[in-house]
Amino acid sequence: MSDKNNSTLTFADGTAACEFPVLKGTVGPDAVDIRALLGKTGKVTYDPGFLSTASCRSGITYIDGDEGVLLYRGYPIEQLAERCDYLEVCYLLLNGELPNQAQKEEFDLKIMRHTMVHDQINNFFRGFRRDAHPMAILVGTVGALSAFYHDSLDLDNPSHREVSAVRLIAKLPTLAAMAYKYSVGQPFAYPDNSLTYAGNFMRMLFSVPSEEYKVNDTLARALDRIFILHADHEQNASTSTVRLAGSSGANPFACIAAGIACLWGPAHGGANEACLDMLEEIGDVSRVGEYIKKAKDKDSGFRLMGFGHRVYKNYDPRAKLMRETCHEVLGELGLENDRLFKLSMELEKIALEDDYFVQRKLYPNVDFYSGIVQRAMGIPNNMFTCIFALARTVGWVAQWNEMISDSEQKIGRPRQLYTGAAKRDVVGIAQRG
Ligand code: CMC
């Protein structure tokens, strides 16, 4: 990477012009390195929402929002979704290269050998109300893992970091399935390490001790694809949260719990649940027009959930793949005439043709279709974000690891533009108006 170019920043208020290095990435926009700005000029930059701010160097994921491109370690998401399984993608994100056969077998075994959680974790579940949201349980129990693995919390030790990564990727499906089982009052199902990562998760979600459970391969493949498509997504809100939490030296379990908490919001990972809730609220194809109108009315405060993206302003390549899977799963289950599926297809069609959505480049995003797929598979709406979280854990861990190994990283500490009262004196209570 060459840091040769400079850019000059000039000011109209008499502050002397200054030069700043321009950093070049492999692809994508250059970055003006303004770390010395405050020291040189006494000024800070103002960029709420980080619209024009790169917070780190990263070699993991690349997105070109205008072209609808998503690369993990340089590989297009379409090829990974079609040619690899989720654990190969995990290996890639963590190690930078795809595994060969022997590496894959070793990695798969390592992950499957860590799927069980400590038996005392069960006690944490009993402390939650039965109607607790599974995401609330997941935030709590993932955070609680830090209390169980003191043996691997030395952040400067790469093998400690590796075993923490394996534990997190292996145990997230178990904890997510336990959160669901607890909420429906069924006994927890232990992992079955002879199954695939996705197949094992389905079994832990849906099996009951009184019946044999057979994994449907088409549905397991669809779930695996959901995991691949959600595995990483550059410096989004939850990943930035993980990095920020980790920048203080917090342990990986605490950092991932922070990421899960951030993901829960409806503008981020909570969108798939919110989208299905919205479809249920609309209820019938005849009411689609009414809701499109409401989404266009700024005073209504209503947005079409599952539409729009901060980065993808052309189309979301994950949505294209998920749309394919959506049709495949609905076909396999004979649900093409399902009321909500038909309603979602009508909503998709109208929004894609409507000027308001076309002009603002608001296309259906991955969560629009992934919610429909998961519902068809029998997964309840409130589990969708947990599934996003378990799939994204590998991305969070890879990004956290990259940050820990980056000598340029410091504790994250943004500046602010203070707009409150200037310094003033406290007066006695009797004198206050
Ligand atoms: N429905 C109606 N109008 C919308 C929507 C929507 N879903 N999204 C954006 N707009 C309008 C918005 O009102 C604004 O209009 P105007 O320019 O007239 O003021 C314009 O489009 C731009 O919106 P923005 O809020 O500036 O865009 P953003 O890039 O900050 O927000 C977003 C991106 C994803 C938060 C937003 O599109 C949204 O709230 N979508 C619904 C929630 C959703 O589906 N989120 C999942 C994102 S994908 C999963 C993930 O990666 O986390």
The reply to whether ligand 1 has any atom less than 6 angstroms from the CB of 304 is: yes
- 149-154 mean pLDDT: 86
**pLDDT at residue 177 above 50?**
yes
Pairing of strands 18-23, 75-76: unpaired
The reply to whether ligand 1 has any atom less than 6 angstroms from the CB of 306 is: yes
State the pLDDT at residue 48: 95
The reply to whether ligand 1 has any atom less than 6 angstroms from the CB of 310 is: yes
Q: Tens of pLDDT along 417-428? A: 999 999 999 999
State the pLDDT at residue 340: 84
Give every CB contact of residue 249 below 8 A, 6+ residues apart in sequence: 155
Q: Tens of pLDDT along 268-298? A: 888 888 888 899 999 988 998 999 999 999 9
Give the span between the Cα atoms of 257 and 389, in whole angstroms: 10
Pairing of strands 61-64, 69-72: antiparallel
- 33-56 burial string, b = 16+ CB within 10 Å, else e? ebeebeeebeeeeeeeeeeeebbb
Give CA 321 to chain center in angstroms.
Answer: 17
- 136-146 mean pLDDT: 95
**pLDDT at residue 3 above 80?**
no
Residue 309 Cα to ligand 1 midpoint, Å, equals 6
- 81-108 mean pLDDT: 98
Give the span between the Cα atoms of 76 and 81, in whole angstroms: 9
- In the structure, what pLDDT confidence band is assigned to residue 1 with cuts at 50, 70 and 90? very low
| From 272, 302, 310, mutation site for ligand 1 pocket: most ligand atoms within 8 A of C-beta | 310
Q: Tens of pLDDT along 371-412? A: 889 999 999 989 999 999 999 999 999 999 999 999 998 999
Give every CB contact of residue 285 below 8 A, 6+ residues apart in sequence: 342, 343, 346
Per the prediction, the chain carries an average pLDDT of: 93
The reply to whether ligand 1 has any atom less than 6 angstroms from the CB of 361 is: no
Residue 360 Cα to ligand 1 midpoint, Å, equals 9
- 79-83 mean pLDDT: 97
Q: Which two tokens stand for residue 209?
A: 């001790």
State the pLDDT at residue 337: 87
Atom 9 in ligand 1: which residue has the minimum CA distance? 308
Rg (alpha carbons) of the chain, rounded to whole number: 24
- 202-228 mean pLDDT: 96
Q: Which atom of ligand 1 is nearest to the CA of 310?
A: 29
Atom 4 in ligand 1: which residue has the minimum CA distance? 303
**Virtual torsion, Cα 103, 106, 112, 115, nearest 10 deg:** -90
User: Which run of H or of E encompasses 223?
Assistant: helix 217-229
Q: Which atom of ligand 1 is nearest to the CA of 295?
A: 2
Percent of the chain topping pLDDT 90: 79
State the pLDDT at residue 248: 95
**pLDDT at residue 2 above 60?**
no
User: Which of 233, 309, 338, 425 does the annotation list as catalytic?
Assistant: 309
Whether 234 and 63 have beta carbons less than 8 Å apart is answered as yes
**pLDDT at residue 361 above 50?**
yes
Q: Which amino acid is at 41?
A: T
Map tokens 């389905």 to a residue. Answer: 202
Pairing of strands 18-23, 31-32: antiparallel
Q: Tens of pLDDT along 380-389? A: 989 999 999 9
Residue 120 Cα to ligand 1 midpoint, Å, equals 42
Give the span between the Cα atoms of 4 and 331, in whole angstroms: 55
Percent of the chain topping pLDDT 70: 99
Alpha-carbon dihedral sign for residues 279, 283, 288, 289? negative
Whether 179 and 141 have beta carbons less than 8 Å apart is answered as yes
Q: Which two tokens stand for residue 247?
A: 């920048």
State the pLDDT at residue 243: 98
Decide if 367 is catalytic.
Answer: yes
- 68-75 mean pLDDT: 97
Residue 416 Cα to ligand 1 midpoint, Å, equals 25
Decide if 309 is catalytic.
Answer: yes
Q: Tens of pLDDT along 307-349? A: 998 888 888 899 999 999 999 999 999 998 888 888 888 888 8
State the pLDDT at residue 4: 58
The reply to whether ligand 1 has any atom less than 6 angstroms from the CB of 364 is: no
State the pLDDT at residue 402: 97
**pLDDT at residue 163 above 60?**
yes
The reply to whether ligand 1 has any atom less than 6 angstroms from the CB of 295 is: yes
